[in-house]
């Protein structure tokens, strides 16, 4: 059966009183229902990308949606011939996206949502008093971004709060600012932080790039979208696609994103076929000659060996209880 798997991208900011118990119960539920992927849980909510067979994903969405804590959760659902993950990883962290921006108070004044259909017209028209701001990291927007979007020199989203001076150089405070990211979780905090720093007319693309691609065909998204699963990047634009990525080694255009074949480096970078031949999938001659180099497999994704993998590792049975918020 073609496309028997689904890939779910989701997040929800919601105060979880006992995140430790919730994390353990949720981890166990994923195992029992054949769900694989990466999930982050904290006192401020949940954020994840998971995959599984269609019936299992439906059950998973029902489980989260029926919890009153996550009544506003919005799943971005994609279909796939293969499972996007090999294992389940549920982690407890201080934030559901690493930002250094406290969510408890700041999210009370976040940017308003703009739905994908409205955003499509804005990108097409490009009004002079509107700035479309990409709040993702460098390696993400180098392989794909919206047409004429403003990007930031950002190695990691946790540094976003230090980028106000750069934003002020590129974006007028009188402009209507529309932030976007992959699925929306970063924009919640980014839009609120901009408002806290003097930008009054701030909005965010609801559901991010992925939702826009699903609902509006991804028109005027240039390149591919970096995703946090085994695919590394995915097609978003089925209407007017172009390639904007430039091979890190040769400078030629490419839409393939890889991890450096050198285990000690593991850098994210665009790599063409010609570039792959030069350094055998590494980003530089130095990486090729120093350290442990994996055999380049063409995709640039290197699955960690699953020898001895136990999905129950990380579950504290003493912390299992009834799911919080039901």
* Residue range 92-136, pLDDT digits in tens: 999 999 998 876 777 889 999 999 999 999 999 999 999 999 999
Q: Can you tell me the distance from the alpha carbon of 129 to that of 105, in angstroms, rounded to the nearest whole number?
A: 29
Predicted confidence (pLDDT) per residue in 269-306, tens digit: 999 999 999 999 999 999 999 889 999 988 888 877 76
Name the fold adopted by 5-96.
Alpha-Beta Plaits (3.30.70)
Indicate which residues carry an active-site annotation.
Answer: 181
Question: Would you state the pLDDT for residue 323?
Answer: 47
Q: Give me the percent of the chain exceeding a pLDDT of 70.
A: 96
CA distances from 85 to 3, 113, 301, 303, 322 (A): 15, 30, 12, 9, 27
Q: Where in the chain are all domains bearing CATH 3.40.250.10? A: 111-223
Q: Can you tell me the distance from the alpha carbon of 249 to that of 230, in angstroms, rounded to the nearest whole number?
A: 23
What residues have CB less than 8 Å from 1, skipping those under 6 apart? none
Question: Would you state the pLDDT for residue 236?
Answer: 97
The residues facing 38 across adjacent strands are: 49, 89
Contact 215, 40 (CB under 8 A): no
* Structure token digits, residue 252: 């030629």
Q: Where in the chain are all domains bearing CATH 3.30.70.100? A: 5-96
Q: Can you tell me the distance from the alpha carbon of 116 to that of 218, in angstroms, rounded to the nearest whole number?
A: 9
Tell whether domain 111-223 is in CATH 3.40.250.10.
yes
Q: Report the predicted TM-score, pTM, of the whole model to 2 decimal places.
A: 0.92
């Amino acid at each position: 059966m073609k496309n028997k798997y689904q890939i779910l991208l989701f997040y929800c900011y919601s105060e979880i009183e006992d995140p430790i118990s919730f994390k353990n119960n949720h981890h166990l539920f994923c195992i029992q229902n054949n769900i694989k992927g990466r999930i982050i849980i904290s006192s401020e909510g949940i954020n994840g990308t998971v995959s599984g067979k269609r019936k299992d994903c439906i059950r998973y969405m029902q489980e989260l949606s029926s919890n009153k804590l996550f009544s506003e959760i919005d799943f971005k659902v994609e279909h796939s011939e293969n499972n996007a993950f090999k294992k389940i990883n549920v982690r407890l962290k201080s934030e559901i996206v690493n930002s250094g921006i406290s969510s408890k108070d700041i999210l009370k004044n976040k940017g308003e949502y703009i739905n994908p259909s409205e955003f499509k017209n804005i990108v097409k028209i490009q009004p002079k008093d509107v700035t479309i701001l990409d709040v993702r990291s460098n390696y993400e927007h180098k392989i794909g971004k919206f047409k004429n979007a403003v990007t930031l020199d950002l190695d990691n989203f946790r540094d976003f709060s230090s980028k106000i001076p750069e934003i002020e150089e590129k974006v007028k405070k009188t402009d209507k600012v529309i932030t976007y990211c992959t699925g929306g979780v970063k924009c919640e905090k980014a839009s609120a932080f901009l408002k806290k720093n003097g930008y009054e007319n701030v909005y965010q693309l609801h559901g991010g790039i992925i939702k826009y691609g699903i609902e509006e065909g991804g028109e005027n998204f240039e390149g591919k979208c970096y995703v946090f699963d085994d695919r590394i990047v995915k097609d978003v634009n089925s209407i007017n696609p172009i390639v904007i990525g430039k091979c890190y080694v040769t400078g030629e255009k490419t839409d393939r994103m890889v991890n450096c074949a050198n285990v000690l480096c593991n850098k994210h970078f665009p790599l063409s076929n010609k570039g792959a031949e030069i350094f055998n999938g590494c980003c530089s001659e130095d990486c090729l000659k120093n350290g442990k180099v994996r055999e380049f497999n063409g995709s640039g994704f290197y699955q960690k060996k699953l020898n001895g993998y136990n999905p129950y590792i990380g579950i504290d049975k003493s912390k299992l209880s009834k799911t919080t918020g039901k």
